[in-house]
Amino acid sequence: MQTDDLFISESNETFDVIVVGSGVTGGWAAKEFTEKGFKTLMVERGRKIEHRKDYPTEGKGPWQFPNRTKVPLKEVEDKYRIQQRCYAFNDMTKHFFGNDKDYPYSTPENKDFTWIRSNQLGGKSLTWARQSYRMSEFDFQANKRDGHGIDWPIRYKDLAPWYSYVERFVGIAGGKDNLPQLPDGEHLPPFELNSAEKHVQALFAQHFPDRPMVAGRCAHLTKPTQIHMQQGRIQCQARNECQKGCSFGAYFSTQSSTLPAAAKTGLLKIATDSVVHSLMYSEKDNRITGINVIDAKTKKTREYKAKLVFLCASTLGSTQVLLNTNAKSHPNGFANSSGALGHYLMDHCFHAYAEGTVEGFLDEYHSGRRPTGIYIPNFQYEPSRYRKGYVRGYAMGGGASRGDWRGRSHQDGIGINYKESIIRPGPWRFNLYAQGEMLPRYENMVSLHQTKKDAWGIPQLHIECEWSDNERLMMADAVSEFEKMFTKIGMTDIFTASNPDSAPPGSAIHEVGTVRMGNDPKESVLNGFNQSHDIPNLFVTDGASYCSSATVNPSLTFMALTARAADYAVNEVKNRRI
């Protein structure tokens, strides 16, 4: 990818489209528009990250870090008090996380929220867990069928071809599982389960046939196609280097995949270190004319102009831009005639866990570093399957492994016998965690703080979000079911845990909602193509557009929604309806 003339600062050009954000959705928007002949500006508030060149810790072993990858406590307290909650945060990856002091937000007392920030070119596509599942028809119908939230304006059939389109380009390793609640996709060969997992899989199939266990579907190249090799990507080496950046391009990221495709067209420009303050708006034409930007380093202001704007800045990032945009003709808030803007924030509840010992298989030892585990999709995927006490359900993830010196070295002991015990692998342990659906509730919301501002003078987000009784009951039930399942198949030394307060909303890093789509402009901000009901040339295609959270990881759906919306927008422009 040639970068000499790709990056800009000042520009008087009026672009065909501005894409705000450069993560999984921003990358896809840029790719789609440039490949369709649109001059596109991608705007990113963080720094430039170049593929391969800017992965400084890639290939370094834990022993090459002063504290074996542990970030010193003082540094955590000074910079990363929130960010260190992320599973991917350590001394090898901290450069891909935002400094909490630079990105403050507020919450009410006793209502904590975890907002993980990765403000750089590529966003969280560099650090995501890469789990990639389609939403099902049951997910799109859930709100209408049980009365929680508004009806999605689309159905599975509307998104299915776009799932396929995205999957072929991204590269998703997964099986053909033939499950109604987990639609199959255009998959590369799955990663193989280990022997202990295959054993548990067979026992679950025997005793809990409604809870099929499959290989986790992930955005890794197990058998690259010509499409992937043309992107300069090769097969996953299973190095466990993912969140440090992957020079092989073996997992999907903006840098490895969509950005090179967009740059190849010659129609892309990128403005990094550009904090979007608000949207520029023409009262006369009822159109967005561009964006107001603050330089992240110099704090100087500038403008970028465009005929079309796609907000892809993450759920909370896109919402903050809309909340901070003012117009006389929008007294209820910009693009907010419905009053829904900022409301219905959701995340996955993520705090039920269990593990147990699987007897046997002591003559086998897993090798390699498979980048995914096992997955059990939601078995309560329609109202007739809901369990007593709460609505919706949860998916399960996990896997089996044997303990090694990293854990056993903390045991008591001394002398040669202790040393020998450390190097012998322990028994097989199998674990499950729950990923539950959070209901859309008006009171879970974000707003602009009345007095507090960030380093660029932009009002901070004030986030009010908490688990309801529905989510708490769901996670309590998950722990109970885990124990029942483990006991039934003969596991021993079972351990369970669930503490909702230890994992506040945001902890799953799957926040969605706040700019929801819908058929009725009186109840929703966007239509079924992610287009603003109020302003025709404004689109929001990240997680903010969600009507419900479902139980599956959301990134694949973000990408499919973005590709579909871009295709729609291009046709609308060509037909002069925008």
The 10s digit of each residue's pLDDT in 230-284 is 999 999 999 888 999 999 999 999 999 999 999 999 999 999 999 999 999 999 9
Q: What separation in angstroms does the CA of 237 have from each of 169, 241, 515? A: 19, 9, 39
Return left, alpha or beta for 162; rule: phi > 0 is left, psi -120 to 50 is alpha, else beta. Answer: alpha
Q: Tell me whether residue 94 is in a domain.
A: yes
Q: Comparing C-alpha atoms, which of 415, 418, 312, 391 is closest to residue 19? A: 312
Rg of the chain over all Cα atoms, to the nearest angstrom? 24
3-state secondary structure of 374: strand
Q: Tell me whether residue 149 is in a domain.
A: yes
Q: Tell me whether residue 168 is in a domain.
A: yes
How many C-beta neighbours within 10 Å does residue 285 have? 11
Q: Tell me whether residue 11 is in a domain.
A: yes
Confidence of residue 103 (pLDDT cuts 50, 70, 90): very high
The 10s digit of each residue's pLDDT in 376-426 is 999 999 999 999 999 999 999 999 999 776 666 667 778 887 777 777 788
430 near 200, Cβ under 8 Å? yes
How high does pLDDT run on average in the chain? Answer: 95
Q: Tell me whether residue 268 is in a domain.
A: yes
Return left, alpha or beta for 154; rule: phi > 0 is left, psi -120 to 50 is alpha, else beta. Answer: beta
Lowest mean pLDDT among 27-41, 111-125, 407-421: 407-421
Q: Tell me whether residue 262 is in a domain.
A: yes
pLDDT of 409 reads 60
The 10s digit of each residue's pLDDT in 426-466 is 899 999 999 999 999 999 999 999 999 999 999 999 999 99
pLDDT of 405 reads 61
**Which residues fall within 8 angstroms of residue 56, CB to CB, at 6 or more apart?**
95
Report which secondary-structure segment, H or E, holds 565. Answer: helix 555-574
Strand order in the sheet with 40-43: 268-271, 40-43, 17-20, 309-311, 538-540
Q: What's the predicted TM-score (pTM) here?
A: 0.96
How many C-beta neighbours within 10 Å does residue 493 have? 10
* Beta strand 172-173 pairing with 187-188: parallel
Which residues span the domain enclosing 17?
Answer: 1-51+69-174+218-337+511-578
**Which residues fall within 8 angstroms of residue 573, CB to CB, at 6 or more apart?**
16, 307, 308
CATH number at residue 166: 3.50.50.60
Q: Tell me whether residue 117 is in a domain.
A: yes
Q: Tell me whether residue 131 is in a domain.
A: yes
* b/e burial code for range 435-468 (CB count within 10 A of at least 16 → b): bbbbbbbeebbbbbeeeeebebebbbbbbbbbbe
pLDDT of 412 reads 77
3-state secondary structure of 493: strand
Residue 2 has pLDDT above 90, yes or no: no
Rounded CA gap, 501 and 479, in Å? Answer: 15
Rounded CA gap, 414 and 117, in Å? Answer: 43
Query: What is the tally of structural domains in the chain?
Result: 1
The letter for the amino acid at 223 is K
Helices (H), 118-155: 137-146
Rounded CA gap, 86 and 143, in Å? Answer: 30
Average pLDDT of the residues in 528-536: 98
Rounded CA gap, 70 and 218, in Å? Answer: 27
Q: What separation in angstroms does the CA of 377 have from each of 7, 265, 353, 532? A: 42, 39, 16, 33
